[in-house]
Chains A and B, each alone.
Chain A
Amino acid sequence: MTQYNILLAGVGGQGLMLLSQVMGDACTKSGVKVVVGAQHGLAQRSGSISAHVRIGDAYSPLIPYGTADLIIAMEATEALRYIEFLKQGGTVIMNSRIMHPPLETAPIVKNRQELRMYVTLEQVKEQLSKVVGNVISIDAEKVAVEVGNPRTENVVLLGVASALIGFPVKIEPLKESVRRVVPERAVEANLKAFDLGRKAAEG
């Protein structure tokens, strides 16, 4: 059974569902079998969300624990939140950005004398390094600002992923799907985000 499993993780509002649709659409147009299990949940922003992209021969819409080839995390702590899905020696591509949820800020403010600290990128990386073969961390927010559209962080990370050896979807079909799936007014910025992400990975 040949499979390539990608777990997408992020924070509601970062365009994770759109990313899963771009990947699924690109597979379908290239004649590659794909199933995506999306966690739509409710409409609110800023919660933890995920999507399971299963390319090749898979039945279940959910990646079995310990079998994802790749985690693409749109926010650094979200990579760690879904780490049980990654296989031994798998790859993590993550945005270096951390969005600290109100639940993390609340106790810091309530116990201000204790001078508690937020979780840091270094802590996340240290935890990941205990089980992950390859951690690629990129400041996608910075690249997105460079692109001129801060809402393209998701596609920057897709560009990074497209440069991985063994990534099962080709560049052209991915770009073609960006054109089809992304709202027209944002297509150009997203294609630029894809290229810059790819360039950063090849850098």
Chain B
Amino acid sequence: MSYQDLTDPSPKRAFMLCNEAVARAVLECDAKVAAFYPGSPTSEILDTLYLLSADYPDLKMEVSANEKVALETVAGASMAGARSFTSMKSVGLNVASDTFYTLGYTGVNAGCVLLVADDPHAHSSQSEQDGRFFAPTGHVPMLEPSTPQEAYDMTRYAFDLSERYKILTMIRTTTRVNHQYASVEVGEVKRTPFQKRNWKDVKRPYFTLSDTARRLKGEALDKLGKIEEEFAASPFNRVIEGEGRIGVVANGVSYLHAMEAAEALGVKPHILKLGTTHPLPKKLIVDFVSKLDKVLVVEELMPYLEQHIKAIAKDADCGLEVLGKESGHFGYVGEYNVAVVSKALGTVYGVKSPVDYEAVQAKAAELKKVIPNRLPVFCAGCPHRATLWALQQALKGTDFILNNDIGCYSMLQLEPYSLTDMMLCMGAGQGISSGMQHVVNDRVVALIGDSTLFHAGLPALVNAVHNGHNYTLFILDNSVTAMTGQQPNPGSDFGPNKVTEIDIEAVVRGIGVKNVTKINAFDPKPNVETMKKAILGEGVNVVISVGPCALWNDRKRRAAKIPIIPNKVGKETCKTIYACVRDFYCPAIQLDMETRQTIIQPDICNGCMVCAKLCPVSAISSTGGAQK
């Protein structure tokens, strides 16, 4: 969707990304406070509202230090009487879950909506976590869209539901929903002026302990009972009438795969599409399954619906056979697609798909043996590539453990580096290092980015200093949260509002780290000695490697009309030593198969000059002219 379409307040039909449609709905619902920590596949919600906040200054929009703070910020705004919104990725809710679970007890005031996006297939996450289980255990209602239009409609409804029941409301999506574009019909943006309120006008208690906790839990469950009745009539649950006594129950993107699989197979099951998945509309489900002999439950990740439907059918005593993961029709790992659903549905009906998907895939696998893998790599001009080149040299000859963290630098675990011993979740690198340094003889090294340090790294650093641990922490400071699209973090000098830049070195020294060194990422050779010293030093050693994210910096340069000048390799001077390739692996550098010399692709190179610094015969120099 063009920015014009998004920001223009009039109703319209436009082609938009699901995440844009959600952002538009947030704006239309007159939400006044929105706070986020970026995380794929939700980051574009943040990005869109960030852009829109320039045109709609009555929206207080901020990028938070982590998801817990973001959820608390929007919950606080709601308690004080303003509608509010946050979104986060699956594992983001783990970070925010302490707040989430207690909010389920206290409830909220003005409409307060939380969107959580799971990532079946772990495209861009460390796990295939199923966030749906948060809703029943947190006593929070949950909606699951299939399409961008539905995500837009559900976001609007969620604000209304949340406000009527004074209950946090959760929208649960998956990657293939968030990253789906389609035509969406949107309404008018009518904003009210931002008004400060007085606490006495909205005041009610939001605390919970013992007696209060038990009373509030009961009240939350009562609200959910009423919401279940409302959900029974919700247009977000739909029955598509079919033929015979076989049915399908599906949610989210699985519903779309199931509709297409049924058409491809030429079968007509009755289909129940569930959009309200906590509390489940039990009566609707009983009515649906009571006319069936078999039902195939189509849902990714865990058998959440399947187990509930089994229980509901057993209570209703309707002799239903429930098929899904537990019957072996589907697996538990990875995401679904039309081929996966066709296979399961075809098995139920005893028919085969007109396209032999397995044969097509097998043939393709054979054909593509000639092409190399193209794994994600550090971008041309990335400061991490330079830092990690130096780190590889500094670690040579030392027994070490390398504990990594979540960020672009996570790619160090991939080929051709294959250099990570441990990587769990945001901020875990240091905590794990604390444990390991008690036990091993090896030097313990932890890596963390600037954004991840602010997000979840600081408590672990405090802990390590306080307890006198021995490890070396490399802080890779590229000024932004790069991996999710270069959003600002507390160390950035920009944001949707006026921001104060937090000085990482001052924070680290303030915590009490004695050995702190700041290095320029793009000066790799001198950095090797500095790093070695830090790695072999006693106590907690911190090296802060500074260099801006290449994508972010290139964008800034383009906006400021500063030319980006690529490098070139001298044909006379290149002696095929390959110092610019080994341990460096820049995607701009290729080989010329005739001369075996290296060549630089000018439209990829951003002129960071690090390869030139690595070349022992000075064969690489700037072209001196702008190429992009």
Interface residues of A (CB under 8 A from B): 1, 11-13, 20-21, 24-25, 27-29, 33-48, 58-62, 64-67, 77-78, 80-81, 83-84, 99-106, 108-110, 112, 115, 117-119, 123-124, 127-128, 130-131, 141, 150-151, 180-181
Interface locus among B13-21, B152-160, B434-442 = B13-21
- Complex: chain B residue closest to A12, CB-CB: B376
A151/B628 in contact, CB under 8 A: yes
Contacts of A42 in B (CB 8 A): 40, 124, 376, 408, 483-484
Main SS of chain B's interface residues? loop
Picked from A28, A40, A83, A84, the residue with its CB within 8 Å of the CB of B40 is: A40
Least CB distance, B496 to chain A, in whole angstroms: 19
Known: A41-B124, A123-B370. A62 touches B338 (CB 8 A): yes
**How many angstroms from the CA of A103 to the CA of B371 in the assembled complex?**
11
Q: In the bound complex, what is the Cα–Cα distance between A37 and B337 (angstroms)?
A: 12
List residues of B (6-48) whose CB comes within 8 Å of A's CBs.
13-15, 17, 40-41, 44
Q: Report which of B41, B263, B416 forms a contact with A103, defined as CB distance below 8 A.
A: B416
Which B residues are CB-close (under 8 A) to A65?
339, 355, 357, 360-361, 364
Other contacts beyond A35-B182, A151-B628: 20, CB < 8 A? A20-B181, A25-B2, A34-B183, A38-B17, A42-B376, A43-B408, A43-B484, A44-B411, A46-B379, A62-B257, A64-B260, A64-B342, A78-B374, A99-B587, A104-B372, A108-B591, A109-B578, A112-B596, A127-B367, A150-B628
Residue of B nearest to A62 (CB): B337
Residues of B within 8 A of A131 (CB): 363, 367
**Nearest Cβ distance between residue B238 and chain A, in whole angstroms?**
13
A40 to chain B, nearest CB (A): 5
Residues of A within 8 A of B355 (CB): 64-67
For this complex, 16 residue pairs linking A to B, each with C-beta atoms less than 8 Å apart, are A25-B2, A34-B15, A37-B176, A38-B181, A40-B40, A42-B483, A43-B486, A59-B260, A60-B337, A65-B355, A80-B370, A81-B374, A101-B373, A102-B585, A103-B375, A118-B593
Closest 6 CB pairs of A and B: A84-B364, A102-B585, A104-B372, A28-B15, A46-B587, A64-B338
Residues of A within 8 A of B379 (CB): 13, 44-46
Contact B176 A81 (CB under 8 A): no
Residues of B within 8 A of A115 (CB): 596
Q: Give the A-B contact count at a CB cut-off of 8 A.
A: 224
The complex places the Cα of A57 from the Cα of B371 at a distance, in Å, of 34
- Looking at B378, B585, B587, which has the most chain A CB atoms within 10 Å of its CB? B587
Q: Collect the chain B residues with CB atoms within 8 Å of residue A78's CB.
A: 374
Chain A residue at smallest Cβ distance from B2:
A180
Q: Is the CB of B585 within 8 A of A106?
A: yes
Known: A102-B587, A109-B578. A61 touches B628 (CB 8 A): no
Chain B residues whose CB sits within 8 angstroms of the CB of A151 once the complex forms: 603, 628
For residue A1, which residues in chain B have a CB less than 8 angstroms away from its CB? 263
A51 to B17 Cα, complex, angstroms: 13
Q: Is the CB of B373 within 8 A of A37?
A: no
Known contacts A64-B338, A119-B372; A103/B13 CB under 8 A: no
Q: Which of B154-176 contact A (CB under 8 A)?
A: 176
Report the Cα distance A99→B589, complex, angstroms. 10
B415 touches A27 (CB 8 A): no
Q: Does B180 contact A (CB under 8 A)?
A: yes
Please tell me if B294 contacts chain A, counting CB pairs below 8 Å.
no
Q: Nearest-CB distance from A26 to chain B (Å)?
A: 9
B361-405 vs A, CB cutoff 8 Å, 1 = contact: the mask equals 101110110111111111110000000000000000000000000
Instruction: Indicate which residue in B360, B365, B604 contacts A66 across the interface (CB closer than 8 Å).
Output: B360
With both chains docked as a complex, state the minimum distance between the C-beta of A180 and any C-beta of chain B, in angstroms.
Answer: 5
